[in-house]
Structures are given as structure tokens and as C-alpha cells.
């Protein structure tokens, strides 16, 4: 019963470095999401994928790119990390993009950019 | 209300107390309201998803109600236990942007013996 698996759990980057956060779900969900969590703020949507082969911008997409590799996997890439991207990142999935379905979240990636 | 707002921000109760929190959300073009329970060092877990005005849902000692006309939802915990200590998040989605749930900042509940 893995659910949503995110890797890595922790990462420290230097400004300007790049990295990819990986996310995989085994629930045959159609929709996947990337959120960031910052102190004093609610979870904010970075990008989402309504179904395999589609991706769309969320509330805070600047500085990020995503790839829906297949139905199971949805990766988030930081091309040139900035200190403002220090955050906790959560991947989530749901049966469909319509909000009537609850989300299943991964355990999070704590990213620090120095 | 343009954003999802939750109150109180934090709450400290004793074991056995009953408590409730409020989530306010934009009522125009409402589609769904979610509640999540988020324990420290874990990931948020879905409690309820409600879509109809007047919906009431219950899971054990936790229940929730929904008023879509006035844009609010209440989460109730009856007889709080220490294991109920967590942050409770709500999120709303509207038609047209139903894929983009907007999350509140949560109510942090601490239950002590």
C-alpha cells in the first residue's frame, strides 16, 4: 500500500543548481499535483496534470517545469534553484481532476537552497 | 471572500473536550470542499470531501457540515483525544477551476491530558 512515493525526502542545493523531484503513485489515479508549503501559507499549487499527457500551471509555476512521464509518474524540475524555492514540496494524486475526489499526498521533500 | 480562511489558527484543549473549527470559502461557483488531517512529520490525509449544500459527514468522533450558500464549513471533534492533535486543513474548489483546490492555512489542534 505505497500510495504516493516522493524522492528525495531531503535536499540541499546551491543557488543555480538544478534538480528533479520524483513522484510516483500506484493507485491508478488520473490526476497528479505538485504543491509547495511555506510557513504561514497554505499549500500552493505549482503545476498539475489532469491526465496522462497533459500538464497545466497552478498558482506559483515560475521557476519550475514538470513532466508527466506516464500515468504513474509526475516529476518536478528546478532548472536553476533560487533561495526563494526553499520550501517543503508535496506531490499528490486523485482519481480525477474534479475536486470531488480526495487527494492522496506523498510524504514531502524538504528542499533548502543556499 | 477570495481566499480560504480557517479559524482559529491554533487551539489547545484538554482530553475529553469537544471542539470545532471554521473554514470560510468563496461561495460563488462552488464545487467541492475538502478537509484534511495533517500530523507533524507526516503528509495530509483526506477526512471528508463534500459537494452539496447541507452535506454532513462523519468519521468516528469527527464530523463536518457544509453551507455552500454562505460559504462556510465546520469541523467538529467530539471528546478530543491526544491522538487528535494535528493540523486540520480545508480546501475548496470552484467550477471552472475545480482542478485547483485552494487550501487554507489550517487550524493547529493540541489535545493534552
Query: What is the arithmetic mean of pLDDT over A46-71?
Result: 93
Using the predicted structure, report yes or no on whether residue B1 has a pLDDT greater than 70. Answer: no
How many Cβ atoms from other residues are within 10 Å of residue A42's Cβ?
22
Using the predicted structure, report yes or no on whether residue A2 has a pLDDT greater than 70. Answer: yes
Contact A40 B44 (CB under 8 A): no
Structural contact between residues A71 and A30, judged by C-beta atoms closer than 8 angstroms: yes
Residues of chain A with a CB closer than 8 angstroms to some CB in chain B: 4, 31, 35, 40-45, 48, 50, 56, 58-59, 90, 97-108
Q: Which pLDDT value is given to residue B97?
A: 55
Q: Which pLDDT value is given to residue A108?
A: 95
B99 closest CB neighbour out of A43, A97, A105: A97
Q: Which pLDDT value is given to residue B99?
A: 59
Q: Which pLDDT value is given to residue A29?
A: 93
Q: B11-62 pLDDT, tens per residue?
A: 999 999 999 999 999 888 888 999 999 998 899 999 999 999 999 999 999 9
Q: B70-112 pLDDT, tens per residue?
A: 999 999 999 999 999 999 999 998 876 545 788 999 999 999 9
User: Which region holds residue B96: left if phi is over 0, alpha if psi is between -120 and 50, else beta?
Assistant: left
Q: Which pLDDT value is given to residue B29?
A: 83
Q: Which three cell numbers stand for residue A72?
A: 504513474
Calpha distance A20→A11 (Å, rounded): 11
Structural contact between residues A5 and A23, judged by C-beta atoms closer than 8 angstroms: yes
Q: Which pLDDT value is given to residue A85?
A: 97
DSSP code, position B21: E
Q: How far is the CA of A88 from the CAs of A12, A34, B39, B91, in angstroms?
A: 12, 11, 15, 18
Q: Give the 3-state DSSP-derived string for chain A, with helices as H, strands as E and coil as C.
A: CCCEEEECCEEEECCCCCEEEEEEECCCCCEEEEEEECCCCCCEEEEEECCCCCCEECCCCCCEEEEECCCCEEEEEECCCCHHHCEEEEEEEECCCCCCCCCEECCCEEEEEC
Q: Which three cell numbers stand for residue B101?
A: 483546490
A105 closest CB neighbour out of B44, B99, B106: B44
Calpha distance A34→B40 (Å, rounded): 20
Residue A52 — φ and ψ, nearest 5°? -55, 130
Q: Which three cell numbers stand for residue B53?
A: 449544500
Is residue A83 classed exposed, middle or buried when 0-12, 13-18 and 19+ CB atoms within 10 A define those classes?
exposed
Give the CA diameter of chain A: 40
Q: A99-112 pLDDT, tens per residue?
A: 778 999 999 999 99
Q: Strands A74-78, A56-57: parallel, antiparallel or unpaired by DSSP? A: unpaired
Banded pLDDT at A40 (limits 50, 70, 90):
confident
Residue of B23, B35, B43, B48 to mutate when probing chain A, most A C-beta within 10 A: B43
Structural contact between residues A80 and A64, judged by C-beta atoms closer than 8 angstroms: no
Q: Which pLDDT value is given to residue A98?
A: 65
Amino acid at each position: 500500500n505505497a500510495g504516493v512515493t516522493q524522492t528525495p525526502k531531503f535536499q540541499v542545493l546551491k543557488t543555480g543548481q538544478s534538480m528533479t523531484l520524483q513522484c510516483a503513485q500506484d493507485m491508478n489515479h488520473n490526476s497528479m499535483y505538485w504543491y509547495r508549503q511555506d510557513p504561514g501559507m497554505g499549500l500552493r499549487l505549482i503545476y498539475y496534470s489532469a491526465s496522462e499527457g497533459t500538464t497545466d500551471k497552478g498558482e506559483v509555476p515560475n521557476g519550475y517545469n514538470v513532466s508527466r512521464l506516464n500515468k504513474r509518474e509526475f516529476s518536478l524540475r528546478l532548472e536553476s534553484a533560487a533561495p526563494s524555492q526553499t520550501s517543503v514540496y508535496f506531490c499528490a494524486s486523485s482519481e480525477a481532476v474534479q475536486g470531488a475526489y480526495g487527494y492522496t499526498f506523498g510524504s514531502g521533500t524538504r528542499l533548502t537552497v543556499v | 471572500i477570495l481566499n480560504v480562511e480557517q479559524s482559529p489558527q491554533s487551539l489547545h484543549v484538554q482530553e475529553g473536550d469537544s471542539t470545532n473549527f471554521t473554514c470560510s470559502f468563496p461561495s460563488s461557483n462552488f464545487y467541492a470542499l475538502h478537509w484534511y488531517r495533517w500530523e507533524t512529520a507526516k503528509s495530509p490525509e483526506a477526512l471528508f470531501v463534500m459537494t452539496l449544500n447541507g452535506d454532513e459527514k462523519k468519521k468516528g468522533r469527527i464530523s463536518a457540515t457544509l453551507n455552500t450558500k454562505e460559504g462556510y464549513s465546520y469541523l467538529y471533534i467530539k471528546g478530543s483525544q491526544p491522538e487528535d492533535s494535528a493540523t486540520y486543513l480545508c480546501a475548496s474548489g470552484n467550477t471552472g477551476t475545480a482542478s485547483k483546490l485552494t487550501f487554507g492555512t489550517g487550524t493547529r489542534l493540541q489535545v493534552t491530558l
